[in-house]
Amino acid sequence: MALDLTAITAKVRDHVEDALAAGGQVILDRSQELVPLEGRPDTLGGVTLAESGRVNRIGSDYLPVVSVTYDGPYAIYQHEGMEFHHPTGGSAKFLERAMVEQATEATDAIGDEIRKALGT
């Protein structure tokens, strides 16, 4: 049985960004459970911190890259502010915690997407 490695490589290349985005979504979903909750929309941008979370496709065909970000005007302060109290829920390091907690699930999601692309 001969394998057509060129075809396999092409399929992986065509789907790797989608696979990375699936892994990013796993991390985003968990971080949404940990993000500090607010009683009102942010007055600077009209968007709550949770609503500003997204998976971004920022790479190129040559080097696919996906990031998970929160773009609210005070996201970095809430993420890094270990001294802040969150009486309505959530915590500091919400994205970092999600990344650590969901590492296995995120890589599994990436692998699942690649396997689907290969038809295995």
Q: Where are the domains of the chain?
A: 5-118
pLDDT beyond 70 at 44: no
pLDDT tens sequence across 7-40 = 877 887 888 999 999 999 999 999 999 999 875 5
Tokens (6 digits) for 32: 């949404």
Pair 68, 50: CB distance under 8 Å: no
Between these two residues, 86 and 107, which has the higher pLDDT value? 107
Give the residue from 90, 27, 97, 93 showing the smallest Cα distance to 55.
27
Q: What is the pLDDT of residue 49?
A: 87
Task: Give pTM, 2 decimals.
Answer: 0.84
Given CA atoms 16, 18, 24, 26 in this order, what sign does their dihedral have? negative
Q: What is the pLDDT of residue 43?
A: 47
Q: What is the pLDDT of residue 2?
A: 65
Find residue 102's DSSP bridge partners.
none
Find residue 55's DSSP bridge partners.
68
Q: What is the pLDDT of residue 47?
A: 64
Helix (H) or strand (E) run with residue 115 in it: helix 103-118
Query: What CA–CA distance (Å, rounded) separates 59 from 66?
Result: 7
Query: What CA–CA distance (Å, rounded) separates 69 from 18?
Result: 17
Q: What is the pLDDT of residue 87?
A: 81
Other residues' Cβ atoms within 10 Å of the Cβ of residue 28: 22
State the chain's mean pLDDT as an integer: 87
Q: What is the pLDDT of residue 104?
A: 98
Q: What is the pLDDT of residue 14?
A: 81
All residues at 6 or more sequence positions from 58 whose CB lies less than 8 Å from its CB, including other chains: 65, 66, 67
Q: What is the mean pLDDT of residues 42-62?
A: 78
